[in-house]
Amino acid sequence: MGELQRSVEHLREHQDYPATKTDLVTACNNLSDFAAADKKWFSDNLPEGTYKSAEDVMKALAMYA
């Protein structure tokens, strides 16, 4: 993902939890300031499940910021 810091900020500050993969991908796809390639990467790499926090999402994606 090209914009790691912005992605982490969004997950921490603008996403409601708990959230399913569908919830997270839908929210991601509605963001106008992220590249289509980053949105596709997020959708393709996020495992199915329900996430309790941004940290859970980042752990599932092996994202570290």
Boundaries of every domain in the chain: 4-61
Rounded to two decimals, the pTM is: 0.87
pLDDT tens-place string over residues 8-62:
888 999 999 999 999 999 999 998 888 999 899 999 999 999 999 999 999 999 9
Residue 19 CA to residue 33 CA, distance in Å, equals: 21
> E strands along the chain, which residues?
19-20, 50-51
